[in-house]
Structure 1
Amino acid sequence: MKAGIVINPGTPVADLESVLSLADQVLIMTVNPGFGGQAFIPEMLEKIRTVAKLREEKGLSFDIEVDGGIDNETIKLAKQAGANVFVAGSYLFKEDLAAQVETLKAALND
């Protein structure tokens, strides 16, 4: 069993600082939860950077996951900000599923 924390776009990172040491994973929602196909909220990149910095400063090892608006461009930005787990939904089904998965993999390896 693993412990995870989810932070929505409107929730400050400070609200989760006291429990980070208990987490195996922190999910940063990069859209407001509710429905698929929403656009990635660019301001969430700063939250990813902040959580990654806290992880480093505190010597922790949790994964940073992002969910919402992930495509071949936003996946690169999220990775650069410090995320290492990515949830893609709508993007995968725009065209051939296997081809879209390969596009995301290639974007991560650029």
Structure 2
Amino acid sequence: MDAELDGDSAWLDAMLLPEYRSVGADGTVLKKAALLAHAARNRGNDTERRQVEAWLKAHPSGQAVVIRDDTAILTFYDPKLGPQSGVRSADVFVYENGRWHALYSQHSRAGG
């Protein structure tokens, strides 16, 4: 998230796999190229960062991770609802060439 908000497209490009997809709570699919373009627009501008930080302050999240072999699933959830009922997002990472790379993100409106 920091790389996207700071406009660090080079870091994001290395971390996101070519097949990366992010599915929003409304079902909209965002591909890697769109995320890189969004990050570039944030470079030198902290408007979105301030908005995200305000949202995060108003909506604290718990985190959980499951790692199995070369795959990790990171979930962010509403602490009031717990990880079984209040998952806000889940990210799938794959370990390749000595680094973790993002493959897929899914977002929801749980606890939002």
Whose helix proportion is higher, 1 or 2? 1
TM-score, normalized by the shorter chain, greater than 0.5 = no
Whose strand proportion is higher, 1 or 2? 2
